[in-house]
Amino acid sequence: MKRMIAIIACLLVFVCARTQGTELTFQWHGQTMGVDFEDTNLTVSAKSAIKDDIAYALSLIASSNVTFSLLTPDSSYYGEYKGFVNFGADTRINYSEGVLCYYKEIDGNIRWQIGSQVSSNYLAAITLTNQYASAVSVLSNYLHQFTAGIDISGMTLSEKKALLWNPPLLRLLEETSGDEFEELVGGAVPAVPAPPGACPFPSILAFKAETDLPAEWEPPLFCCNIKVWRGASGGGTFLFCYVNGTWRYSPAGP
């Protein structure tokens, strides 16, 4: 009887382990991948949220831009990991850099090894985005309008300024540009429709709270650094800030 109980217990452990592994897998261009965490104190929900974000970030990257390099006997982590990943320099939107590196191979499938620092970064991002859940929920519609191109013709100066958020820059322009102020403000608003896929919804790691800012920036400020693709000009980032219940584009400057 005791032997039978022991066998059943072992089977239950095996089934639970297989179930957990299945929950932490996803598809990438027809290939099954998974994640394993160095930090064993993560909750199931946290692991699932991190896995989903990693899966989304990878979905933005074409398989032709990814190279899986096998470790050789003279490599530092040979025997511990199967290999590591390289993302091509022409990868358009890459939120996986610094998140994914080494992987193992289990049953012929890649399982990404997620370090404790990456997990810690994700936990902070999860807490932050939960705190600003309403702002995150409206970002998708805002990005759609933004990338479709903003027509500023017929807008007043106040309406144009309301699209932007960089108080020091706007103040400097107003003080130094004279009659050209309104034209410069309008020019700071991206008005050309973006190519398809040029500015997709970001990884959760793109969100941040700025607290160490001058008073005129109204800290703390919830922001998002979104990666964009500018075609022949290559990649870059747009900074958006959530101010008084709406997202605004933050042009670079003082």
Structural domain count of the chain: 2
Name the β-bridge partners of 209.
Answer: 222
Q: Do residue 138 and residue 216 come from a single domain? A: yes
Residues 223 and 162 in one domain: yes
Look up the domain containing 94 and give its range: 22-121
Burial class (CB in 10 A: 0-12, 13-18, 19+), 250: buried
Name the maximum alpha-carbon separation found in the chain.
92
pLDDT tens by residue, 31-42: 999 999 998 899
Which position has the token pair 């991206």?
Answer: 190
Do 167 and 223 belong to one domain?
Answer: yes
- Listing from the earlier edge strand, what are the strands of the sheet with 246-250? 207-210, 221-229, 235-243, 246-250
Determine the Cα–Cα distance for residues 111 and 104; give it in Å rounded to an integer: 5
User: Which of 121, 151, 181 marks a domain boundary?
Assistant: 121
- On whether both 94 and 200 belong to a single domain, the answer is no
Question: In this structure, is residue 167 part of a structural domain?
Answer: yes
Predicted pLDDT at 230 = 79
Q: What is the pLDDT of residues 50-68, one digit of tens each?
A: 999 999 999 999 999 999 9
User: In this structure, are residues 240 and 226 in contact, taking their beta carbons and an 8 Å threshold?
Assistant: yes
Q: Tell me the mean pLDDT in the region 104-109.
A: 93
Both 153 and 222 in a single domain? Answer: yes
Encoding tokens for residue 235? Answer: 């990649």
| pLDDT given for residue 210 in this prediction | 86
pTM recorded for the entire structure: 0.85
Q: Which two tokens mark 74?
A: 């003279």
Assess whether 243 and 137 both reside in one domain. yes
Q: How far apart are CA 71 and CA 87, in angstroms?
A: 16
Output the CA–CA distances (angstroms, integers) from residue 105 to 34, 36, 52, 124, 229, in the order listed.
10, 11, 20, 29, 32
220 band by pLDDT with thresholds 50, 70 and 90: confident
Instruction: Tell me the C-alpha to C-alpha distance, in Å, between residue 161 and each of 140, 190, 251.
Output: 22, 13, 11
Band of pLDDT at residue 243, cut at 50, 70 and 90: very high
